[in-house]
């Protein structure tokens, strides 16, 4: 049984830009409702933070089980495509491989990237998504995040 913390969402459920709260808001806007029947904990979570501005840094963090190999991809637009019954939230025309790493024993892979001090990048939205590689081949798509490069 999943407990509700008072807002109609399961207690402790991590919300992201493409999470259940966003879906519920969209459903309510269109006169419908969204009821959570079950929830599966997310093991690998991508977060992009830091001083994401011209000349600053972007801090990429992926949490998950130690030893999990993950890749992070970036794109200049979002989209929604179904890949092997999973959601790809990145535009394939601008899709680029950004990094690959193994989650350390601490459970959090952290990579800091420098943002070039180039005015053409100001106000640019950059979309990110994590991909979990499976031993023996295959992959699963994880959550996405978006950051706007500030001037």
pLDDT in tens, 113-128: 999 999 999 999 999 9
HSE-up (13 A, CA, CB side) for residue 129: 24
Measure the CA–CA gap between 130 and 63, rounded to whole angstroms. Answer: 10
User: Which pTM value belongs to this model?
Assistant: 0.71
Q: Give the model confidence (pLDDT) of 51-99 as tens digits.
A: 899 999 999 999 999 999 999 999 999 999 999 999 999 999 999 999 9
Q: Six-digit token pair at 135?
A: 């031993």
First CA to last CA distance, the chain: 46
Domain boundaries, the chain: 1-41, 42-148
CATH number for the segment(s) 42-148: 2.20.130.20
């Amino acid at each position: 049984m999943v407990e509700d913390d008072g807002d109609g969402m399961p207690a402790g459920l991590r919300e992201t830009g493409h999470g259940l709260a966003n879906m519920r808001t969209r459903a309510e806007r269109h006169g419908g409702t969204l009821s959570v029947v079950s929830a599966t904990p997310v093991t690998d979570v991508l977060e992009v933070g830091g001083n994401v501005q011209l000349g600053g840094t972007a801090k990429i963090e992926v949490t998950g089980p130690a030893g999990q190999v993950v890749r992070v991809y970036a794109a200049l637009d979002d989209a929604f495509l179904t890949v092997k019954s999973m959601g790809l939230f990145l535009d394939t025309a601008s899709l680029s491989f950004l990094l690959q790493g193994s989650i350390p024993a601490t459970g959090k892979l952290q990579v800091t990237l420098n943002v070039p001090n180039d005015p053409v990048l100001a106000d640019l939205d950059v979309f990110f998504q994590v991909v979990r590689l499976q031993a023996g081949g295959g992959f699963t798509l994880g959550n996405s995040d978006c950051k706007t490069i500030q001037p």
